[in-house]
Structure 1
Amino acid sequence: MKAKARRVILTWFVCVCLVFSTAVLGHAYSGILAFGDSLSDNGNADGFGIPTAPYSNGPVWVEYLAGPTGLNVPLFDMAYGGATTAYDNPAASLDYTGLNWQVDFYLANFSSQVSPSTLVTVWAGANDLFNGRDYDDAADNVGLALLKLATAGFQNFLVMGLPDVGATPQFNGTPYEAGATGWSMAFNAFLAAELAGLQAAFPANHFYSLDTFSLLNDVIADPGKYGFDNVTNTWLSRPPGDTGNYLFWDGVHPTTQAHGMIADYARVAVPEPATMLLLGLGLIGLAGARRFRR
């Protein structure tokens, strides 16, 4: 067979594979399983003696990520407002509902739902800062939670770093600003080391991360670029009739508009396995074409 004919056949084969894989795989993630604190809580903390979730003026980021404009998959949310990275929840005077409690509870009660095609999201750490705990211990706790989940069989993770807590209205311009910023930075550095270790221990898994520290500071530096016109005050304290686009709902929590933005960046941070398969098929096609040119 002539080289030109071979190339035509190979191109046709790759195109068919691409179409077939897209149709069959569709949503490569079967669902989202969320762990963490108030930044991901869609109602679990109700009735535990702490303010009613969500801690925003609308849906939180994992709801957007799981929704029609995101991955369009079911959401199973285990996050609790006030949760630390350990087992406790000081905001509600509870010795449970913390991140590692959430993970242990899920694995003890829903182990039949463990699936390698689930996207697991983890966002915690701020409540450790608020309660005066060490950043290295908090990062270790997140690593432990991820280790439990990976050992159980989950393979796809999105781990959110801490934003610059010192830049939030509750801390900005106060004597605690520098300390909160430094704690956030140190936690993120230790968390990155935890993720690197987990990736080495589970080479077939995917440990994605999102740098919310840089994202928050970018938004504050150029709010108009991201669709915000107030990045210093809170939505809850807005004057009557103010329809501005606020970044912060209260002193530390984002508005639902900000949550939507976070979800958009999270969507980019987690390429679906189908996308990776398509890329692999494309590379095979290119390699084959080069081979036939020889």
Structure 2
Amino acid sequence: MKKFSRRFAPLLFAATCLSPVAAHAGSFYAFGDSLVDNGNIPRVYLVPFSAIEGPLAPYYDNGRFSNGPTWAEILPGLTGLSFTAANDVAVGGAFAGPLTIGGTTYNNLSNVPSTSPPFTAATTTALPSFDEEVANFAAAGGHFGPGDVVGVWVGANNYFVAAGEIALNPLAAQSIITAAVTQDITQIETGVGGLISLGAKTLIVQDLPLLGFTPDFNTQPTQTIQAVDAISIAHDSNLSLAMGFLHNSTGANIILVNEQQLFNEVLANPAAYGITNTTTACVTVTACLTGTAATQDTYLFWDGVHPTASIHQFIARYAAADLNALRALTAPAQIAADGQAAFSSQLGARMSDLQAGASGFALNLPQQSMVAELGANDAAPDAQVGKLSGFLSGSYGFGNRNQTAVTSSFTYNVASFALGVDDRIANGIAIGAALGYGSDSGTVQYGSKVSSNAYQFGAYATFYQPSFFLNLKFAYGIDSYNNTRPGVLAGNITAKPGGSTYDFGMDTGYVMHYQNFAFGPIAGIDAANAHINAYTESGDAALTQSVSAQDYQRVIADVGLAGSTELTLGAAELSPHVSVTVNDLVSGNGGNFTSVFTDEPGVSLTSSYPKATHVWAELRGGVTAALSPRLSLSADFATTVAKSDGEDHQFSANLRYSF
């Protein structure tokens, strides 16, 4: 009996990708004030740090305003972003923009004359504001690529000036606060907007903790503490509105890190962060100032307003967790679509069995069959019309998807089982239905885990003649997820959304014969959708997200050639087969959905599924060995060619015994 290679199982069944292509990770850039500055005042502006911090300058870490690296220097190593010292252009003392004090306009606190003797500025070298940092970066030809991430932390220096004004005129506190916050937020919005205009697509912006907790203020009169806390609250509220507006108007994703939430968690449980002193500046305690780094890092604050390096480490870890979480959101639906396609592929395998004359009960061990057994003599002379038959099959697949500019890479495993019955309603026509169960899992870059169980139903129909076949199939699944990702402290962030998937496929082929060879054109089309319901994560309130409902859709068409022949090796009949197709992503480069971090619900983020390769080729082949009239064994492979989003490779085996 001659055999002709059936159109391969849908590419939507995730083929194994053994070696991803180069990742698309970008670079990290940082702008702002002393909470970001990595030593630029002495290194770039050549101002001795002793001019800024006096005799304590040697205890500061190489011109940083702390005892170690800032969060902006730590974050790249936690997110796969490249970084050099020159990428950090922040300057300590930076105002958000130009600020008029006593009739004179300043850009940096270090240029403002002291209010105490000798009433001089720390330096006469002009240092920039945040808005000037952005302007200088642009003037030097700076711009950002799609995978770059920009960090911003600025604003507090404006409020130190406002606090001084309130101390001189406490009755005008509210008007001073309103004016200061309005100006500060407007200038930050201008600067962040400028970064977006230079190409920034993803930004991490830090707001302010309550300034009343800092050593410079926590021993002041209650009225002063209340005033600076009111400034912090107004700043954070208005910054959220401004960043939300920028996202809505530009499409840029702005992760707003809620420092009030983070510092409140540290203050509520300092031991969890290794902190024993939350109120005193390390530089004012000799045992801390001259102590080891381990001793210094038990303090929350390095000096009157700046955190220690250990807190910068935690800030970096929280910001990195936010960024990694955002970039992992597109993985679950892609894995679900692959799992559904695995079930759908088993329906295709069953139709090929029917075309080959299968009857009775067939048992297919884990496989991903790629061979159609339709030939000149296969048109069903051996099957009884109207007789029900059944099958039980299983499949297993694994692979990965490459990192893109804004989405994380992931690996996956999909296992699927199907139990079905079918009926030959006429010669050359069969219909059937099946129930299935799928277990899908995935590991996303930087530790997120995807796990889902799928309960599936499928229906199929095949029409076949000696030189032609047409297969139709539809599959639907209900999905239950249990997803996790690492938190910063003990305990994972978890989500348990529900969802559904469907897959509709049609494939056809025309068979020609020459001597012992069968060959001909094949074509097919497959449409799939994976839907995940809206959900909210559980866990650390500084990290959890609320994610809208999402739909991942794709339609793939293919056309190509297939051929097979027969060989005899001892008592075994061998049927090698090969197919080459050109595949086209007809539509459905994913879609968009939104999310928010629950501690910043006013700042929406938009996720887009990665853009897949539009046209690529696929080569498939293998061999089937008929070991006896009832027992056959097949081994197959598949590989993609010229697929820019990653090469897929698949190897499979199928053992079939018919009763």
Say if 2:266 is the partner of 1:212: no
Q: Which residue number in structure 1 is paired with residue 598 of structure 2?
A: none
Q: Which residue number in structure 2 is paired with residue 120 of structure 1?
A: 150
User: Is the 8 Å Cα contact of residues 34 and 40 (structure 1) preserved in structure 2?
Assistant: yes
Q: Which runs of structure 2 are paired with 1:38-117 in the superposition (5 Å)? A: 38-46=34-42, 47-48=46-47, 49-51=51-53, 53-67=63-77, 69-75=78-84, 76-87=87-98, 88-93=107-112, 96-111=127-142, 113-117=143-147
User: Over aligned residues, Cα RMSD in angstroms?
Assistant: 2.6
Question: Per-residue displacement from partner, 1:130-152 (whole Å, max 9, x unpaired)?
Answer: 11161121111111111111122
Q: Quick check: 281-290 or 191-200, which moved more? A: 281-290
Q: Which runs of structure 2 are paired with 1:108-257 in the superposition (5 Å)? A: 108-111=139-142, 113-132=143-162, 134-175=180-221, 176-203=224-251, 205-240=252-287, 243=295, 245-257=298-310
For the residues of structure 1 that align with 2:141 and 2:40, how far apart are their CA atoms?
16
Q: Which amino acid aligns with 2:153?
A: W
Structure richer in strand, relative to its length: 2
For the residues of structure 2 that align with 1:213 and 1:25, how far apart are their CA atoms?
38
Residue aligned with 1:142, SS: helix
Q: Which amino acid aligns with 2:92?
A: G
For the residues of structure 2 that align with 1:217 and 1:261, how far apart are their CA atoms?
13
Residue aligned with 1:172, SS: coil
Question: Per-residue displacement from partner, 1:188-217 (whole Å, max 9, x unpaired)?
Answer: 1111011111111112x2111100111112
Residue 180 (structure 1) shift: 1.1
Residue 260 (structure 1) shift: 0.4
Distance 1:216 1:95, change over 3 A: same
Calculate the TM-score normalised by the size of structure 1.
Answer: 0.85
Residue 279 (structure 1) shift: 4.3
Residue 95 (structure 1) shift: 5.8
Unpaired segments of 5 or more residues in structure 2? Answer: 1-7, 58-62, 99-106, 113-124, 163-178, 344-455, 457-473, 477-501, 503-659
User: Is the 8 Å Cα contact of residues 114 and 153 (structure 1) preserved in structure 2?
Assistant: yes
Question: Per-residue displacement from partner, 1:165-203 (whole Å, max 9, x unpaired)?
Answer: 111111113122111111011001111011111111112
Residue 104 (structure 1) shift: 0.3
Structure richer in helix, relative to its length: 1
Q: How many residues align?
A: 280
Residue 269 (structure 1) shift: 1.5
Q: Quick check: 34-43 or 280-289, which moved more? A: 280-289
Distance 1:99 1:279, change over 3 A: farther
For the residues of structure 2 that align with 1:253 and 1:6, how far apart are their CA atoms?
60
Residue aligned with 1:207, SS: strand
Residue aligned with 2:475, SS: helix
User: Is the 8 Å Cα contact of residues 79 and 324 (structure 2) preserved in structure 1?
Assistant: no
Distance 1:152 1:234, change over 3 A: same
Residue 285 (structure 1) shift: 3.0
Distance 1:223 1:272, change over 3 A: closer
Q: Which residue number in structure 2 is paired with residue 266 of structure 1?
A: 319
Distance 1:157 1:72, change over 3 A: closer
Q: Quick check: 125-134 or 88-97, which moved more? A: 88-97
Residue aligned with 1:120, SS: strand
User: Is the 8 Å Cα contact of residues 231 and 248 (structure 1) preserved in structure 2?
Assistant: yes
Greater Rg, structure 1 or structure 2? 2
For the residues of structure 2 that align with 1:121 and 1:233, how far apart are their CA atoms?
28
Distance 1:145 1:286, change over 3 A: farther
For the residues of structure 2 that align with 1:59 and 1:100, how far apart are their CA atoms?
24
Q: Which amino acid aligns with 1:281?
A: Q
User: Is the 8 Å Cα contact of residues 235 and 248 (structure 1) preserved in structure 2?
Assistant: yes
Calculate the TM-score normalised by the size of structure 2.
Answer: 0.40
For the residues of structure 2 that align with 1:286 and 1:62, how far apart are their CA atoms?
39
Q: Which amino acid aligns with 1:32?
A: F
Distance 1:280 1:141, change over 3 A: farther
Residue aligned with 1:292, SS: strand
Distance 1:281 1:100, change over 3 A: same
Structure scoring higher RCO (CA < 8 A, sep ≥ 6) equals 1
Residue aligned with 2:324, SS: coil
For the residues of structure 2 that align with 1:25 and 1:184, how far apart are their CA atoms?
43
Q: Which amino acid aligns with 1:171?
A: F
For the residues of structure 1 that align with 2:325 and 2:148, how far apart are their CA atoms?
11
User: Is the 8 Å Cα contact of residues 25 and 274 (structure 1) preserved in structure 2?
Assistant: no
User: Is the 8 Å Cα contact of residues 79 and 102 (structure 1) preserved in structure 2?
Assistant: yes
For the residues of structure 1 that align with 2:198 and 2:185, how far apart are their CA atoms?
20
Q: 1:292 aligns with which of 475, 482, 485?
A: 475
For the residues of structure 2 that align with 1:72 and 1:202, how far apart are their CA atoms?
23
For the residues of structure 2 that align with 1:171 and 1:286, how far apart are their CA atoms?
57
Distance 1:209 1:286, change over 3 A: farther
Question: Per-residue displacement from partner, 1:213-237 (whole Å, max 9, x unpaired)?
Answer: 1111211121011221111112212
Residue 276 (structure 1) shift: 4.5
Identity of aligned residues (%): 28
Question: Per-residue displacement from partner, 1:93-145 (whole Å, max 9, x unpaired)?
Answer: 4665100000000011033x432221001100100101116112111111111
For the residues of structure 1 that align with 2:278 and 2:22, how far apart are their CA atoms?
40
Q: Which amino acid aligns with 2:231?
A: W
Q: Which amino acid aligns with 2:91?
A: Y
Residue 282 (structure 1) shift: 2.5
User: Is the 8 Å Cα contact of residues 13 and 339 (structure 2) preserved in structure 1?
Assistant: no
Q: 1:24 aligns with which of 2, 11, 21?
A: 21
Residue 25 (structure 1) shift: 5.4
